[in-house]
Amino acid sequence: MKNINSSQLEVKLRRLLTKAERAEFVLPQDLQSILVGLYLGDLYGEKRNINPRLKFEQGLNHNDYLLHLYKLFEKYCSANPKITNPAPDKRTGKTYNTIRFLTYSLPCFAPLYELFYVNGTKVIPNNIGDLLTPLGLAYWICDDGCFCQRSHAIFLSTNSFTLSEVNNLVNVLNNKFGLICTINSQNGKPRIRISPKSLPVIQSLLEPAMPSMMRFKIGLS
């Protein structure tokens, strides 16, 4: 595991932003595409006041990936990443440390937040086929993908979504990206299986966009 530089975890003390300063933030198209993929994965959005903020969190074994995300979104953040020290898991008795960072609450996050959250619950937007790009797909796999060494299939953990929503995602992957995807069950919840027959297609499509530390998730070294 890559060592975390202490300066990268140092809390930045920044002044509160004015309403006018918050309005000056914009999201370029590449970051919007990445956020779509991350929303399909582990990204958590919350609206505490008027504007939403984003929480990025990964287990310490993926600290290099989390720091990569932080570099992309650093200008939108009030503090550097920090390691959490949660209480032991009630089921296992083990402690699972994570590394995370939060963004400012900003109006530029509102359009995507409103699409992905309904009454505080994460959903799949009906227009996900228009929103999801190869760049977004790459980061979705970074967050929630798992490469099976035995079968060379790729699995996407979609167990927090409804079967109808997962069917919508499968249709997008099949029709928009030319993949062969099906739904199977994991602990009674739907997850997406990308067929080994689609591995050459997905590697060709995503290799330019895949962060180096996550290339293994599409079977690349």
- Map out the domains of the chain as residue ranges: 6-122, 128-214
- Taking a C-beta distance cutoff of 8 angstroms, is the pair 87, 93 a contact? no
pLDDT at 15: 64
pLDDT at 58: 95
Q: Which residue has the tokens 């290339």?
A: 215
CA distance 70 to 87: 25
- Taking a C-beta distance cutoff of 8 angstroms, is the pair 104, 96 a contact? no
pLDDT in tens, 96-141: 889 999 999 999 999 999 999 999 999 999 999 999 999 999 999 9
> Is pLDDT of 166 > 60?
yes
Rounded to an integer, the average pLDDT of 31-57 is 96
Non-local (6+) Cβ contacts of 81 within 8 A are 8, 9, 66, 67, 70, 99, 100, 101
pLDDT in tens, 25-43: 999 999 999 999 999 999 9
> Is pLDDT of 86 > 90?
no
User: What CATH fold (topology level) applies to the domain 128-214?
Assistant: Endonuclease I-creI (3.10.28)
Q: What is the DSSP letter of 152?
A: -
User: What CATH fold (topology level) applies to the domain 6-122?
Assistant: Endonuclease I-creI (3.10.28)
- Taking a C-beta distance cutoff of 8 angstroms, is the pair 183, 191 a contact? yes
pLDDT at 176: 98
Domain 6-122 shares a fold with domain 128-214? yes
> Is pLDDT of 7 > 70?
no
- The average confidence (pLDDT) of the chain is 92
